[in-house]
Structure 1
Amino acid sequence: MLLYVLRRLLYVLPVALGVSLVCFLLVHLAPGDPLTAVMPIDATADQQAEMRAAYGFDRPLPVQYGLWLWKVAQGDLGRSIATGRPVASEVGRAVGNSLILAAAATLIGFTFGTFFGFVAGYFRGSALDKAASALSVFGVSVPHYWLGIVLVIVFSATLGWLPPTGAGPDGSGNWWPDLDHLRYLILPAVTMSVIPMGIIARTVRAMVGDILNQEFVQALRAKGLGERSVLAHVVRNAAPTALAVMGLQLGYLLGGSILIETVFAWPGTGFLLNAAIFQRDLPLLQGTILVLALIFVFLNLLVDVLQTALDPRIQRG
């Protein structure tokens, strides 16, 4: 097991390096000069050159990448062009908020998606299967930003039960695990959970149906094992696949929640990316994309290790 983990870590290093290169080049391929957002319209040529030298934009791209990567390795992601604050602190606070939202959405989606998937797979062809399958199709089909607007209209504007935007009553952008802040988490978390719920439900349904048709399940039943014990074996065999899907969905939610965080004004990475794009804040955009990509890479590593711990056949394969 230890050798497998070390081998996977060796695979992660070149992937992380490639991710950093792609993140660096993507933002440089965008047209225009990002410094035009902060330079005055009447800036002289000397002022423009001084500003470009301050941010390192006057050097060749390979040199810029090398210097940027060296600073990143030391935890320095630069300073935001728009605010002048360190990018690392801005991204760290946003990642924390996005992680809270993504974890809550993944927990909701995984819980209900697994339940619906097992019900649909275990009672395949029944009315329960059709109802659970319809819910999973709805989850992967409905536009989540539209669903978020509908939930705000119903539960905030009409009923007044839940707050529509923000992360807390004080408007500070910092979420705390108490009842007042929890009310701000419910609507965005439920909105974000519908897609992973549908994907996990469909995956688990297919896995459970396939496992129930395998010979070892028939042998367990032939030995007189009760349905509860048979279901426990089915759950154990379906768990690695469900865990892999959950890990991937958590990574997707961390980096793909721009619309949801914008609709609910949730101060996470999606909201930060949206602001960085419109402000053409190159260091902030680079830092946010890099951190999200590295989190996704290491989430895949963690899922691989957990899958191997649950199912040693993966390691032998």
Structure 2
Amino acid sequence: MILTRYAGVRVTLGLAQVLGVLVVVFVVASALPGDAAVVIAADDADPERIAQLRQSLGLDRPLPVQFADWLTGLLRGDLGTSAVSGRPVTEMLAAALAPTLTLAALALMVLIPLAVVLGVAAAVGRDSRVDRTISGVAVALYAAPEFALAIILVAVFAVGLGVFAPTAVGASGPLLWQPELWVLPVAVLVIRPVCSLSRLVRASMITTLDSEYTRHTLRLGVPLRRVVWRHALPGSLTPAVQHLARVADWLLGGVVVVEAVFALGGLGQVLVSAVSSRDVPLLLGLVALFALITVAVNTVADIVAFRLNPTAGEAW
């Protein structure tokens, strides 16, 4: 019952956060100079023509009415129609979602086990050569920005060795079945998060291994491997799970940058197009998608962390 009540509070708070983000983005987008009517008119920027376009697109209505209509459609599962292309926003997002989700899912599949293994290895062998090597490399790689890592990887593995493709220009078909296209982008997405997450796992594991109940378990003759993986690790994952939610947020933004660097068609390209063309319905659809994913990930992480923490229920 305590967990259910906590989950209900987190879900309600998450929905309120999504609504707040949508309101802020709508107000900011509406305050930008120009609108979709000006973009569509292009060279034929006759005031009468622009006024007709604004009327046909509904841009001449009060802003609260426009937002209320869009929000009503969202509650019905309708994200509206792109003001520039005239295509349903849901259709445009669905077409661009596959590459973005593929990159994010592959990055998480590599990131989580790699960070846990490195963190545990560093904690078990604290102050050893293994620990110093892992910590030194993690600090060095974390200091490098993503675009610099991308350029280095492309120069070495794509241009120099010719193992992978430098970009996805001219490629077709599902991204998942073309590892030569996604290995380098996934590596760029994983390098920095795995450094921070492994360091967090290491610190939490050291604290757990130094605790009295862990020492007592070792005194009872339980093998160290079993103590580490069956007893110490689950109790050390609470801060890592919460940090992983922030990493997932970062991946959403990182994927947008990586898609631009490696010319991968995805939500990043749609986002750039929506902002440049002042396509408010498309922009709101993207923001709603990003906000829902972010809130869902953070909510699940908080619930899992609450469940893993044996003392969390005392405050409820």
Name 1:258's counterpart in structure 2: 256
Deviations 1:226-285, CA, capped at 9 Å, x for gaps: 211221211111123222222321232123322211011122222321233333333322
Runs of 5+ unmatched residues, structure 2: none
Counterpart Cα distance in 2 of 1:14 and 1:276: 24
> Which residue of 193, 196, 213 maps to 2:193?
196
> Which residue of 6, 15, 35 maps to 2:8?
6
Structure 1 counterpart of 2:172, which letter? G
1:12-27 map, 5 Å: 12-27=14-29
Change beyond 3 A, Cα 1:72–1:137: same
> Which residue of 233, 236, 239 maps to 1:235?
233
Name 2:243's counterpart in structure 1: 245
1:106-117 map, 5 Å: 106-117=108-119
Shift of 1:312: 4.5
Name 2:160's counterpart in structure 1: 158
Shift of 1:165: 1.9
- Three-state SS of the structure 1 residue aligned to 2:311 is helix
> Which residue of 295, 298, 301 maps to 1:300?
298
Counterpart Cα distance in 2 of 1:212 and 1:298: 32
Shift of 1:79: 2.6
Structure 2 counterpart of 1:254, which letter? L
Name 2:203's counterpart in structure 1: 206
CA contact (8 A) 1:120 1:128 kept: yes
1:216-235 map, 5 Å: 216-232=213-229, 233-235=231-233
Name 1:215's counterpart in structure 2: 212
Counterpart Cα distance in 1 of 2:253 and 2:95: 15
The reply to whether residue 146 of structure 1 matches residue 144 of structure 2 is: no
- Three-state SS of the structure 2 residue aligned to 1:287 is helix
The reply to whether residue 39 of structure 1 matches residue 41 of structure 2 is: yes
Change beyond 3 A, Cα 1:299–1:154: same
Counterpart Cα distance in 1 of 2:25 and 2:292: 10
Deviations 1:129-174, CA, capped at 9 Å, x for gaps: 111112221332111112112212222222221122229x7425x4
Change beyond 3 A, Cα 1:314–1:55: farther
Name 2:88's counterpart in structure 1: 86
CA contact (8 A) 1:255 1:292 kept: no
Counterpart Cα distance in 2 of 1:256 and 1:74: 30
Counterpart Cα distance in 2 of 1:248 and 1:141: 18
- Three-state SS of the structure 2 residue aligned to 1:155 is helix
Name 1:53's counterpart in structure 2: 55
CA contact (8 A) 2:208 2:232 kept: yes
Counterpart Cα distance in 1 of 2:86 and 2:152: 37
Structure 1 stretch displaced more, 290-299 or 40-49 = 40-49
Structure 2 counterpart of 1:89, which letter? E
- Three-state SS of the structure 1 residue aligned to 2:300 is helix
Counterpart Cα distance in 2 of 1:256 and 1:86: 26
Counterpart Cα distance in 2 of 1:249 and 1:315: 26
Counterpart Cα distance in 1 of 2:310 and 2:102: 31
Counterpart Cα distance in 2 of 1:262 and 1:6: 38
Name 1:72's counterpart in structure 2: 74
TM-score, reference length from structure 1? 0.89
TM-score, reference length from structure 2? 0.89
Name 2:265's counterpart in structure 1: 267
The alignment's C-alpha RMSD in Å is 2.2
CA contact (8 A) 1:110 1:196 kept: no
Shift of 1:57: 1.7
Deviations 1:27-64, CA, capped at 9 Å, x for gaps: 22333334322213334333212211232221222112
